[in-house]
Structure 1
Amino acid sequence: MNVPSKIVVQAPDANNNPVSLPHETSIFTYRTKLTKGTSNEIATLRVYPTIEAICDVAPNFWSTNRTDMIALLGSLRDRSAILKVLLEGGRTVAAGRIAGAYRALGRPAMADEIVDTMKRADHQVREERDPFQGLVGISLGAGRPVPPVVTRVRLMWAQMRDAVIAAFPAEPSKVEDADAYIAAVNERYTSDAYHSLSIEGYSVSEELIERVKSGQWSPETNENDKKQTGAMAAKGYQLAFAEVVKSVRSVLDGADAATVAEEDHLKWFRSMFEPSVAAGLLKPERLAGYRQHFLFITNSGHAPTAWESLPDAKETFFECLHAEKDPRVRAVLGHFLFTFIHPLPDGNGRSGRFLMNVNACRRWVSMDHLAGR
């Protein structure tokens, strides 16, 4: 998710003034009476219950935060709980908006039940035709409710795929000579490693990368080499790159790219950090795989998926990757959504770029189209 630009805090003693925060964000303190039973406590904060929040948000929130609203509606398990809140407050406008939203999302039975139940309580409901103010790009259908992160990943994939295809208008061309392709990949190793590690903030040079590659670097016998974080990262990248080349070869030989990516991506990750673990710079448990802790990205307005939701997010991500048959979309959205979820304790950017290349290799996607050349 992205860090919201404004958060509203309700309190009896609030002063109705905004408090400016860094990066063009703010908190608005809103003076209002708090009724009992309208808040949940999460991590010592009193927050709105989900259903109350859905009923109370302003109309434009449904369009400006469309993905959030769809994800929440798709996660609600108890329709009785929704109706209880609507009936208690006689919230006919909210009922009409929620009913319209469910109808747009492919759940007409839910919409009809809301309207009919309100009517039986002598509330006339006018169903809102388009609360999202535009195409939603997904149908919740008649399936079971799912965690918000599941709907979010599915929705983002569905909404972005057409834009990816528009950016890469030329049909991908099939790789005819697998050996030549692999040779071209290996020729680019030094440049690829330098730029990929530099993006991640490591202090490396092409000379260091070549020295590590040629074996003129020995942390086992040279204490200075052992302490070089950049050299450790370069060695890890070399090992991971070799694993990725094996993955690419499998795809070129006919294996399904999504299956290879799902089965191999943790091999790439573990290879990346194996030298640092061996040198004692990282604890062995770092190689376990997916993170089990909160992660903060420096200088970013993006908050990675909560670690408790990672199993659902990862499963949905790979479901989308398997279902997608266009290699352009697989490559671009595979990279983007993997790094959006940020499932690993480190190396997410590198793993995402590896995943992109594995999904683009059997039918080559030319980057020239994206650059306008």
Structure 2
Amino acid sequence: MATVNERLAESLRVLKKYQEKNDYSVIHSKDTLGTTHTNRLLGNGYLQPIIKGWYMSSLPGNEGDTTVWYTSYWHFIAAYANNRFGNDWSLSAEQSLAFYSGNYVVPKQVVIRASKAGNNIIQLKYSDTLLDVTATLPRQIVKESQFGLNVYSMAEALLYCSPQYFITNRIEAQTCLESLRDASEIIALASDKGNSTRAARIVGALNAIGRTDQADKIMQMMKRLGYDLRPENPFEEGKDFASVILQRSPYSIRIQLMWEKMRKQIIELTPPSIINVDIEKVLANMDANYVKDSYHSLSIEGYRVTDELIERVRSGEWDPKDVKQDSDSRNALAARGYYQAFQSVRESVKSILQNKGKAGDIVAEQLQNWHFELFEPCVQAAIIPASDLVGYRKHQVYIRGSKHTPLNPDAIVDAMQTFYTLLSQEENVLVRSILGHFFFVYIHPYMDGNGRTARFIMNAMLVTGDYSWTIIPIEKRDEYMSALEMASIKGDIIPFAEFIYSLIGNIV
């Protein structure tokens, strides 16, 4: 007779086979894996219920961790809607525009439009809800590539979204308008259904952001078709629009628009006092702060390190080949990597100060080296291959406890090029420091080490701009993460900027 562990292992093999075949972790009905296997996996924490008859993969001990839910959320929405409505459904025009703009934040309520819907509100995990509404479908249903969701085409979503969307979701709306390559589909949709009012709204929006060529094209063609458009600006009156400096992907456009909005928020705040120190004092201040900075930065990421371990790493009394307890220790490898990266950052700071070079340019050039040094000890210990440290991540990542979904791997190169450009062009040191940190973790270009690297970016900008090296203490981790979440989800950078300002110059 099979042991308890053997039976559990068999159930896990069944789950693994299902996941490999379906490429996602959402399961419908106990019949999919078999009732016995499903119950066993539920009982041992390898599955969690979503709603009746629907389950998601998990790990024991993750009960109550929202990360499992946010990781599975859009996969569940697609699977659930396909199961109920076949292909005859779509998300709302507003949610479609969010996706086109690169915003995959999990909403408190998602709306599914379907001709056979029941106008029901379904309670999901953590107070999230799903509303299915009886409604006509868009003329063209587009299959979203990352999760297989049915969405509007961008042009039809712009036409049919609520007028209020241009005010409440200005960045998403402008990102999509900037990404619209040609207005022909707008014209075709508007003329087919006689939607002159909606077309006039799009003309007003295009004029507002400076895309007068496409606005004129719509006006002229609609006039030839017999429509007298009266353009109206759907955006909030009196608001300035950032000019998009780089026409890359929608993700690139979105980051540029967010940067411009957030820099204005930061500049309006009262800045902390500067210290005006020379190069030797800057480097001495970095050296003096190394132990405390290493302890707090690593602790924020969940590593358990001691001052003694950090000092041993700095003094050279560390060798993964000779000291077995260290080569087996995730904490020791992280501490050694932090030391090596810190020295690399120090050299970059020295270069900026000696050569009076632009901080943004040098950080952009050296950042890959910093990240490599963070994990070089893991390469030496044969824990990860060196190839893992080349380039950016190739898989999707999620942030524990956050509703923010970092960019998909295909979007990272464009996003990082835009990030480097913005960092290099930014003249305000506090904007560079705060947005350099924020946008790096927002993009999350690596599989690991993003938080530590972001804090290096922030401090490299601060110390080369007459401010002190600033330590984010582990005791303030919750406040730190909450402020980052507010910026990521709500687009409000003020709590994060005020949090950093409160720490500048403080001794931990």
Describe how 1:275-290 pairs up with structure 2 within 5 A. 275-290=377-392
Counterpart position of 2:432? 330
Q: Would you say the 8 A contact 1:330–1:359 is kept in 2?
A: yes
> Residue 501 of structure 2 aligns to which amino acid in structure 1?
L
Describe how 1:291-370 pairs up with structure 2 within 5 A. 291-365=393-467, 370=501
Question: How far 1:251 sits from its partner (Å)?
Answer: 1.1
SS in 2 for 1:87: helix
CA shift digits 1:335-367 (9 cap, x unpaired): 111111111121111111111111222222367
Q: Would you say the 8 A contact 2:275–2:466 is kept in 1?
A: yes
Q: Would you say the 8 A contact 1:77–1:145 is kept in 2?
A: no
Describe how 1:105-254 pairs up with structure 2 within 5 A. 105-132=209-236, 135-140=239-244, 146-169=248-271, 172=274, 174-175=276-277, 177-253=278-354, 254=356
SS in 1 for 2:132: strand
CA distance in 2 between counterparts of 1:35 and 1:138 reads 31
CA distance in 2 between counterparts of 1:163 and 1:225 reads 45
Counterpart position of 1:40? 143
Number of residue pairs aligned between Structure 1 and Structure 2: 370
SS in 2 for 1:8: strand
CA distance in 2 between counterparts of 1:297 and 1:314 reads 19
CA shift digits 1:74-128 (9 cap, x unpaired): 1111221221122222212221211111111012232232233223222232322
Question: How far 1:334 sits from its partner (Å)?
Answer: 1.1
Counterpart position of 1:26? 129
1:258 aligned to 2:360?
yes
Question: How far 1:72 sits from its partner (Å)?
Answer: 0.9
SS in 2 for 1:29: strand
Question: How far 1:35 sits from its partner (Å)?
Answer: 6.0
Counterpart position of 1:15? 118
1:371 aligned to 2:502?
yes
CA distance in 2 between counterparts of 1:5 and 1:121 reads 42
CA distance in 2 between counterparts of 1:44 and 1:163 reads 36
CA distance in 2 between counterparts of 1:115 and 1:318 reads 38
* Structure 1 residues 289 and 24: alpha-carbon distance in aligned structure 2, compared to 1, 3 A threshold: farther
CA shift digits 1:154-190 (9 cap, x unpaired): 1111111122123343575543x21121011111111
Q: Please, which runs of 5 or more residues in structure 2 have no aligned partner?
A: 1-102, 471-497
1:101 counterpart (202, 205, 225)? 205
Question: How far 1:263 sits from its partner (Å)?
Answer: 0.8
SS in 1 for 2:310: helix
Identity %: 36
Q: Would you say the 8 A contact 1:97–1:131 is kept in 2?
A: no
Q: Please, which runs of 5 or more residues in structure 1 have no aligned partner?
A: none
Which deviates the most, 303-312 or 86-95? Answer: 86-95
Query: TM-score, length-normalised on structure 1?
Result: 0.92
> Residue 370 of structure 1 aligns to which amino acid in structure 2?
Y
CA distance in 2 between counterparts of 1:170 and 1:212 reads 34
Which deviates the most, 29-38 or 249-258? Answer: 29-38
CA distance in 1 between counterparts of 2:117 and 2:265 reads 44
Question: How far 1:332 sits from its partner (Å)?
Answer: 1.1
SS in 2 for 1:167: coil
* Structure 1 residues 132 and 166: alpha-carbon distance in aligned structure 2, compared to 1, 3 A threshold: closer
CA distance in 1 between counterparts of 2:270 and 2:291 reads 27
Q: Would you say the 8 A contact 1:12–1:31 is kept in 2?
A: yes
CA distance in 2 between counterparts of 1:273 and 1:157 reads 29
Q: Would you say the 8 A contact 1:297–1:303 is kept in 2?
A: yes
Q: Would you say the 8 A contact 1:251–1:358 is kept in 2?
A: no
SS in 1 for 2:268: helix
Question: How far 1:27 sits from its partner (Å)?
Answer: 2.2
Which deviates the most, 29-38 or 360-369? Answer: 360-369
CA shift digits 1:16-66 (9 cap, x unpaired): 122233344332212224366333353433222111111111122221111
CA shift digits 1:110-149 (9 cap, x unpaired): 2232233223222232322343456253135xx8954211
CA shift digits 1:206-244 (9 cap, x unpaired): 222122222333321122211110111000000000100
SS in 2 for 1:363: coil
Describe how 1:43-58 pairs up with structure 2 within 5 A. 43-58=147-162
CA distance in 1 between counterparts of 2:455 and 2:326 reads 27
Query: TM-score, length-normalised on structure 2?
Result: 0.68
Q: Would you say the 8 A contact 1:92–1:125 is kept in 2?
A: yes
1:73 aligned to 2:177?
yes
